[in-house]
Amino acid sequence: MEILRVENLSKIYGKGETAVKALDNVSFTVQKGEFIAVVGPSGSGKSTLLHILGGVDRPTSGKVYIEDTDIYSLDETRLAIFRRRQIGLIYQFYNLIPVLNVKENITLPLLLDGRQPDKSQLDELVSTLGLSDRLDYLPNQLSGGQQQRVSIGRAIISNPALMLADEPTGNLDSKNSSEIIGLLRLLNQKRKQTLIVITHDERIALQADRIMTIEDGRITRDEVIRS
Amino acid sequence: MNIVNKLTWRQLMLNKKRTLVTVIGTIISVAMITAVSSLGLSFLDMLRRQVIAESGEWHVLYKNVTMDQVEAIRKDEETQTVILSRDVGYALLEGSRNPNKPYLFIREYNEAGFEKFPVHLLEGRFPAASDEMVISRAILDNGKVDLKIGDTLTLDIGRRELIGAQERTYLEQNASLARYGGEVKEHLTRESVRTFTIVGIIGRPEWEPTWAPGYTVLTFLDEDAMANGAAANASVILKNPDGRLFEHARALAKSQGISEVSFHHELLRYSGVIEDDEARGLLFNLSAIVMTIIIIGSVSLIYNAFAISVSERSKYLGMLSSVGATKKQKRNSVFFEGAVIGSVSIPVGILAGLAGIGLTFAFINPVIKDMLGISADLFLVVSPLSLLAAVAISVLTIFISTWVPARRASNISAIEAIRQTQDYKLTRKAVKTWGLTRMLFGIEGDLGLKNLKRNRTKYKATVFSLVISIVLFLVIAKFTSELKKAVVMTQAGINFDIVINIDDASKAELIAEDIGSLEHIKDFSRIDSLYLMSPVEKEKVPDFLKSRVQDASGAYAYDAYINVLDDASLKTFAEEVGADFNKLKDPSRLSGIVIDVVTYKDMEKDKYVEARVINTRVGEKLNLAYYDSESDSQVQLESLEIAALTDKVPMGVLNLDPGTLSVIISKDVYDRLVQGYDRISEHVDVSLYMTSDDPLRLQEAIEEYMINTETGFSVYNVYLNRQKQEQLLLLMSVFTYGFMILITAICIANILNTISTSIALRKREFAMLKSVGMTPKSFNRMIYFESIFYGIKALLIGLPVSFAVMYLMFNVLGGMFDYAFTVPWASVAVVIVSVFLIVGVAMLYSSAKVKKENIIDVLKQEII
Amino acid sequence: MLRNREIRIILALVAFISTAGAAACFYISVAAGIIASIAFLMVILAFLLFTRWRYRQIHLLSGYLRRIAGGDYSLDVRDNQEGELSILKNEIYKVTVTLSEQASLLKKDKQFLADSLSDISHQLKTPITSMSVMAELLQNENLPQDKRAEFVRNIHSQLERLKWLVSSLLKLSRIDAGTIEFKKERIRVRELVSRAVEPILIPMELKEQTLEITGDEDAELTGDSNWTAEALANIVKNCMEHTPAGGRITIAFSENSLYTDITISDNGEGIHKQDLPHIFKRFYKGKNAHQDSIGIGLAMSRSIIENQNGTIEVSSEKGKGTTFTVKFYKGVV
């Protein structure tokens, strides 16, 4: 089942002579349950692509369909609600809300929807994340790995159609990195969670079903390594 | 400059905007302190000069002192100058056309007297010998007596003695010419004869009451020629007037056997010397409250200005320590920053403050002169002490504002400081909110509240600024209204400029008509008044009055002070108190307005008291009776229906006695009431009351009318007293409201700054919230909640504090006045609306600023 | 709408309260009564309109669900708005997606079953054919004794193989069908590994291979010790088979807050890159699979591990060796 379709996506920063083409006519599709690693040198447009897929940055031209919804045809409010329900974003620097505790950070997308999380579901999730005894902690009381796990929890809580991660292990030591990789892989396998991860970490890349290489805003390689 | 200071300097230059904000904040604060202190000093100085212009520059007055005693006073170490003066007496002014001013009033001054008392020489010179004199110009202008310099007058000098009094009664300058039934009831005694040569002409002295019967002439007091035992008044200018002068002066008087000592309280008050313990306490308390508020306000402002850069600074300090700076070096860096900012902003602040006040004075001087006719100008008075205080306060505050964060910054590790700019101390408890918040306001409200709580210092600083503004506004509003009330109470209902009493009722009609058509009259009313009695039932009398209104037979009866108003005045008054004018005019059912609230001075408690004097209702009857002296019996009149009860007083009606009921009726009702009792009308006094846009000119016109028609009546011009109080009130208002506006403006700047900085610091977080799907609407909700919570918190603290301060102030003032404490609800409403307005504007401004940011641009700015 | 009992009840209640309120207002003054009556009527009207709208939405949703039940998964009801109704729509959509996915999985499963059956029959056919040939040959009474003995041995071994195949397939099918109850006990990983390697210690010794076991002695995992030991044993056996004589097999294990992992690595021939994604598939035979291999051991290991909330991954480099990573997660996703 097709979960994501990208058509002729371009993103140009700046104007006139100083314009930089961050994405140049990119098209591809992603099936449900795929685990895609996006690799490429810095400045190649990986992050831009991810942000556009995540609905936080607007493309200059082209379309993004997530579960058949043209996300950039939505107005700002609907796009926000769409993000809340259909997209999970994970950043290198966790970007947790410092004033909310672990539980609130994880359930933030639900809270924004005015929902209460299902208790048993939440319990399962936090035990998978290994955060059961940290629910009341504030982000600054957690280690980097724990914070990243919280942000994974936040990304998965609403069962999003698409989970996007930008260098999720970029800021972590090797032990924490492998935990995070393991978690992502687990979510992908067990929940058939569609996952697109930008990474420089070859361990993640090797876990993926498909590796996409971006150079100068174009997809230069796209190979399925397992199916 | 060592390397750390150099770095700090660079850092300051690098963050120009932030540095500028801090510098401006500090400048404003220093300017405020400077401005407030010089404003206060300048006002005091102006009032002092005004007093000197009105009643002369002297501090202590020893009355009736002999030359020996004067010598002793002169020798006293505190004495600077001794002014001698003596009231010689009255002499008939031949040819005076003003029937109310038939005399010359002769006063002697020594040389210092002419110098230090407010005497304006218009022509010629001051007298230098006891046979020379200067005359008041009013003799020529008002009395129409043709005198000129060089003329010689021989005068029989004596005292004013009342005719027909049982004991010998002498009258002074402040008693007008005694008349009764159109006839003069006083004459002059003859005590001495002196001859004077006129050597100069002076302006009418301000201390001469307008109704005084004698024109002032001044002559020279020759000390050498003063006979042994002859007494004069010695006014003394002291070298250093301070709190001890009262005791010292009394001691001196006692040792010299001087019986009477008095003090120039008004001048002393404006020089900061007050004897009365209670009054001094009052002044001290008030100025303590105001000073505390000023200092707290400015300290919070400076602190806030610095707090804005604290998180940035701690990052920078983290960087320093990561390259190996010691704690001491870091601390020095912070102090250096304080020193740099202080050395720029303190001098600039002082100059700005002085310039601001100077400009303000330049603006308001003509206004004050125009409106109040004050002769003294407002000058910018700068005392080195106040400047020093301003500098000291600013330096201290800068020191504290930098030291506290510096200490904190030097205690955290390098990486903590670099990585977590502000949240390294965030605890679960700090951001704990009630579950109710989320239930009521949703996650947005909860986030808003948590956002407030996360940064305690800044949150508190902002709330504190708001609280200060609230308290200031309310307290000042209350203070001004209290002051007005106090002034009104002490004025005891004087609400007119000039009053004319006509005791010859037969001529009243004509005079009233003629005078009423004169120029410069704003309001004019005629009141025929007489005293009747009003027997009442016991229950209607309030307890505190029971003993007072009980007559010998045990019955209760008020004095009823019946005031008959002319129709035009009555109509206005009836509208003002909500009574039906036509009903009041109806002679078939007698009705009148009763003033049931009276302000009087309770002699026992020495307090002004406002009280309800009769327990009755609209529609009830008021019994009236009069005492007929011929038959020696009480005659019952028809009773009067109460058409309205009020605490308002029509122009001219004076009521100072709680045992007297003032009743206002129409002419028609009066005529019906006294029908058949002709003897009553003999007791009627006719008074004409008027307010004027130029009372002095009006008085002249009236006097002219009197001269031309040769009718007799007395004229009182009370305008000057009234004017003085109004001046004081207006000045106070200008001062207090100006101060309030200043501090409120600063608070707004403060709040705008704090909120927008805190939002700028949280951009990443906002971007994060947006990226997990917070809609623009929710986002705005969050921001608005944040602002609303600021407002609520500030009001929750500010309002009770204001009430407490107001109550405190009320108690302080209540030492002199007795009335119920009222909450100024209108001001409270204004405060609530303005607080939300201010915070709302700040929030709109900042959310607009955040809205402009693209989510992604913010997310890209990763911190190391 | 009025079919709904709760609506009738609330309407009655509202009407009663309004009438009472209006009556009370009439009692105070006629004007107040009229105003109150109008206001109450308006409120009821607004309430009715709103309820009607909401029921309409519910009606639409139930229509939508009916179509999904009919197998139409292409509908999208999401409107991306705030509010409970929108959340409901969104959830329904997610369920639809899951359903449609399951439908396609089911299709795959059918295909898989057909493939499996053909695989199994193929696997069974070869030994059966050879056995029936040998049985026929055995019928020949002239067969020399030594030949006969060889055939019998051969049939024996084929039968053993069949027995093993059948029992393995049986196990596998039971695991896949979920009829096996995995015990949930705390197992010390150290003991588990010892049990798993026990049956292959002798073959290893024969091949002069060394076994190295390192790891945190306290490490534990939650699972069924018998099955898990079997799963590990299959992996170790695979390693042993693909590692030349004198090679080395390393088993390392550790536990962290998220999972317990066991890595089994060898320095053998490695797995071909093309084979790598497929080695856990049933009956898959790689390029250099053993003659006897039927490709069921690793498939069973995977089934056992994944059924116990674990994952198994493999990485390999041709000529340098292969590493299997088994992770048992603590939480359930």
Token pair belonging to C49: 């309109």
Q: What is the pLDDT of residue C203?
A: 83
pLDDT digits (tens, 9 = 90+) for A130-166: 888 888 888 878 888 888 888 888 888 888 888 888 8
Least confidently predicted of B469-473, B517-521, B573-577, B750-754 = B750-754
pLDDT over threshold 80, residue B482:
no
| B210 three-state secondary structure | coil
Name the residue facing B777 among A77, A87, A98 (closest C-beta): A77
Strands B556-565 and B660-666: parallel
Determine the residue of chain A that is closest to B857 in CA distance: A57
CB contact under 8 A, B453 and A91: no
- B607 pLDDT band, cuts 50/70/90, is low
Answer yes or no: are the C-beta atoms of B767 and B855 closer than 8 Å. yes
Q: Is residue B77 part of a domain?
A: yes
Instruction: Please check whether residues B134 and B64 belong to one and the same domain.
Output: yes
**Residue span of the structural domain in which B507 resides:** 495-717
Buried residues in B741-752 as b, exposed as e (16+ CB within 10 A): ebbbebbbbbbb
Name the residue facing A115 among C76, C87, C104 (closest C-beta): C87
Category of A221 on φ-ψ map: left (φ > 0), alpha (ψ -120 to 50) or beta: beta
- B418 pLDDT band, cuts 50/70/90, is very low
Q: A-chain residues within 8 Å CB-CB of C279?
A: none
Q: What is the pLDDT of residue C65?
A: 82
Determine the residue of chain B that is closest to A109 in CA distance: B772
Chains adjacent to C (≥3 CB pairs closer than 8 angstroms): A
| B760 three-state secondary structure | helix
Buried residues in C96-122 as b, exposed as e (16+ CB within 10 A): bbeebeeeeeeeeeeeeeeebeebbee
Chains adjacent to B (≥3 CB pairs closer than 8 angstroms): A
Name the residue facing A112 among B428, B443, B765 (closest C-beta): B443
φ/ψ of residue B158, rounded to 5: -155, -165
Q: What is the pLDDT of residue C46?
A: 92
Instruction: State the average pLDDT for chain B.
Output: 76
Question: Which helix (H) or strand (E) is B60 found in, with range?
Answer: strand B60-65
- Say how far apart CA C44 and CA C53 lie, in whole Å: 14
- Which residue, B416, B449, B464, sits at the end of a domain? B416
Token pair belonging to C135: 């049985």
pLDDT over threshold 70, residue C70:
yes
pLDDT over threshold 60, residue B491:
no
CA distance A214 to chain C (A): 23
pLDDT over threshold 60, residue C333:
no
Nearest Cα to B796, choosing from B756, B772, B831, B821?
Answer: B831
pLDDT over threshold 80, residue B103:
yes
Nearest Cα to B10, choosing from B231, B320, B446, B281?
Answer: B320
Q: Is C8 at the interface with chain A, CB within 8 A? A: no
Q: B-chain residues within 8 Å CB-CB of A137?
A: 428
- Say how far apart CA B519 and CA B521 lie, in whole Å: 6
Question: Which helix (H) or strand (E) is B92 found in, with range?
Answer: strand B79-92
Q: Is C37 at the interface with chain A, CB within 8 A? A: no
Q: A-chain residues within 8 Å CB-CB of C82?
A: 81, 113-114
Q: What is the pLDDT of residue B310?
A: 60
Least confidently predicted of B45-49, B251-255, B489-493, C124-128 = B489-493
- Say how far apart CA C266 and CA C247 lie, in whole Å: 7
If you average pLDDT over each of B286-295, B475-484, B518-527, B708-717, which comes out highest?
A: B518-527
Chains adjacent to A (≥3 CB pairs closer than 8 angstroms): B, C
Instruction: Please check whether residues B235 and B316 belong to one and the same domain.
Output: no
Query: In degrees to the nearest 10, what's the CA dihedral of A135, A140, A144, A147?
Result: 40
Q: Is residue B213 part of a domain?
A: yes
Beta-carbon contacts of B566 under 8 Å, excluding residues fewer than 6 positions away, are B525, B526, B527, B667
Answer yes or no: are the C-beta atoms of A207 and A129 closer than 8 Å. no
Q: A-chain residues within 8 Å CB-CB of C332?
A: 124, 127-128
Instruction: Please check whether residues B619 and B514 belong to one and the same domain.
Output: yes
| A201 three-state secondary structure | coil
- In this complex, how many residue pairs, one in chain A and one in chain C, have their CB atoms less than 8 Å apart? 88
Q: Is A183 at the interface with chain C, CB within 8 A? A: yes
CA distance A187 to chain C (A): 7
Mean pLDDT on A122-131: 83
Determine the residue of chain A that is closest to C316 in CA distance: A206
Side chain identity, residue B524: F
Q: Is A179 exposed, middle or buried, given 0-12, 13-18 or 19+ CB atoms closer than 10 A?
A: buried
Instruction: State the average pLDDT for chain C.
Output: 83
Q: Does residue B200 or residue A203 have the better pLDDT?
A: B200
HEC per residue, chain C? CCCCHHHHHHHHHHHHHHHHHHHHHHHHCHHHHHHHHHHHHHHHHHHHHHHHHHHHHHHHHHHHHHHHHCCCCCCCCCCCCCCHHHHHHHHHHHHHHHHHHHHHHHHHHHHHHHHHHHHHHHHHHHHHHHHHHHHHHHHCCCCCHHHHHHHHHHHHHHHHHHHHHHHHHHHHHHHHHCCCCCCCEEEEHHHHHHHHHHHHHHHHHHCCCEEEEEECCCCEEEECHHHHHHHHHHHHHHHHHCCCCCCEEEEEEEECCCEEEEEEEECCCCCCCCCHHHCCCCCCCCCCCCCCCCCCHHHHHHHHHHHCCEEEEEEEECCCEEEEEEEEECCCC
CA distance C80 to chain A (A): 5
CA distance A172 to chain B (A): 13
pLDDT over threshold 80, residue B739:
no
Q: Is residue B280 part of a domain?
A: no
Instruction: Please check whether residues B343 and B386 belong to one and the same domain.
Output: yes
* Spans of all domains in chain C: 5-99, 107-177, 185-329
Answer yes or no: are the C-beta atoms of B354 and B41 closer than 8 Å. no
Q: What is the pLDDT of residue B864?
A: 33
Q: Does the structural domain A2-94+162-224 have CATH classification 3.40.630.10?
A: no
pLDDT over threshold 60, residue A16:
yes
Q: Is residue B701 part of a domain?
A: yes
pLDDT digits (tens, 9 = 90+) for B221-247: 877 766 666 778 888 888 887 777 888
CB contact under 8 A, B428 and A136: yes
DSSP H stretches of helix in A62-209: 76-86, 102-106, 108-112, 119-129, 144-156, 174-191, 202-207
Q: A-chain residues within 8 Å CB-CB of B776?
A: 76-77, 80
Q: What is the DSSP string of A35-104?
A: EEEEE--TTSSHHHHHHHHTTSS--SEEEEEETTEEGGGS-HHHHHHHHHHHEEEE-TT----TTS-HHH
CA distance C330 to chain A (A): 6
Domain range C107-177, CATH architecture: Orthogonal Bundle (1.10)
Q: Is residue B298 part of a domain?
A: no
CB contact under 8 A, A114 and C82: yes
Q: B-chain residues within 8 Å CB-CB of A97?
A: 447, 765, 768-769
Token pair belonging to B552: 């010998």
Answer yes or no: are the C-beta atoms of A10 and A24 closer than 8 Å. yes
Determine the residue of chain A that is closest to B851 in CA distance: A76
Number of domains in chain B: 4
pLDDT digits (tens, 9 = 90+) for B58-67: 888 888 888 8
Q: Is residue B29 part of a domain?
A: yes
Instruction: Please check whether residues B486 and B499 belong to one and the same domain.
Output: no
Instruction: State the average pLDDT for chain A.
Output: 83
- Say how far apart CA B132 and CA B195 lie, in whole Å: 8
pLDDT over threshold 70, residue B283:
no
Q: Does residue B421 or residue C310 have the better pLDDT?
A: C310
Determine the residue of chain C that is closest to A181 in CA distance: C258
Beta-carbon contacts of B769 under 8 Å, excluding residues fewer than 6 positions away, are A97, A108, B447, B779, B782
Q: Is A126 at the interface with chain C, CB within 8 A? A: yes
Name the residue facing A112 among B426, B764, B774 (closest C-beta): B774
pLDDT over threshold 50, residue B420:
no
Q: Does residue B277 or residue A2 have the better pLDDT?
A: A2
Least confidently predicted of A2-16, B380-394, B450-464, C193-207 = B450-464
Query: How many C-beta atoms lie closer than 10 Å to residue C171's C-beta?
Result: 17
Mean pLDDT on B324-346: 80
Answer yes or no: are the C-beta atoms of B806 and B475 closer than 8 Å. yes
CB contact under 8 A, C87 and A227: no
Instruction: Please check whether residues B700 and B837 belong to one and the same domain.
Output: no
- Say how far apart CA B301 and CA B276 lie, in whole Å: 37
Mean pLDDT on B526-531: 81
Handedness of CA C54, C58, C64, C68 (dihedral sign): positive
CA distance A3 to chain C (A): 10
pLDDT over threshold 80, residue B621:
yes
Instruction: Please check whether residues B44 and B136 belong to one and the same domain.
Output: no
Name the residue facing C82 among A32, A69, A81 (closest C-beta): A81
Q: Is residue B253 part of a domain?
A: yes
Q: What is the pLDDT of residue B422?
A: 45
- Which residue, B398, B416, B434, sits at the end of a domain? B416
Q: What angle do CA B120, B123, B125 make, to 5 degrees?
A: 80
Token pair belonging to B332: 């020095």
Q: Is B159 exposed, middle or buried, given 0-12, 13-18 or 19+ CB atoms closer than 10 A?
A: middle
**Strands annotated E in B505-628:** 521-536, 556-565, 591-595, 597-602, 607-612, 621-622, 625-628
Q: What is the pLDDT of residue B862?
A: 46
* Spans of all domains in chain A: 2-94+162-224
Answer yes or no: are the C-beta atoms of A60 and A10 closer than 8 Å. yes
For the packed helices B384-411 and B277-307, what is the interaxial angle rounded to 10 degrees? 40
Q: Is C63 at the interface with chain A, CB within 8 A? A: no
φ/ψ of residue B202, rounded to 5: -115, 165
CB contact under 8 A, C331 and A182: no
Domain range C185-329, CATH architecture: 2-Layer Sandwich (3.30)
Category of B90 on φ-ψ map: left (φ > 0), alpha (ψ -120 to 50) or beta: beta
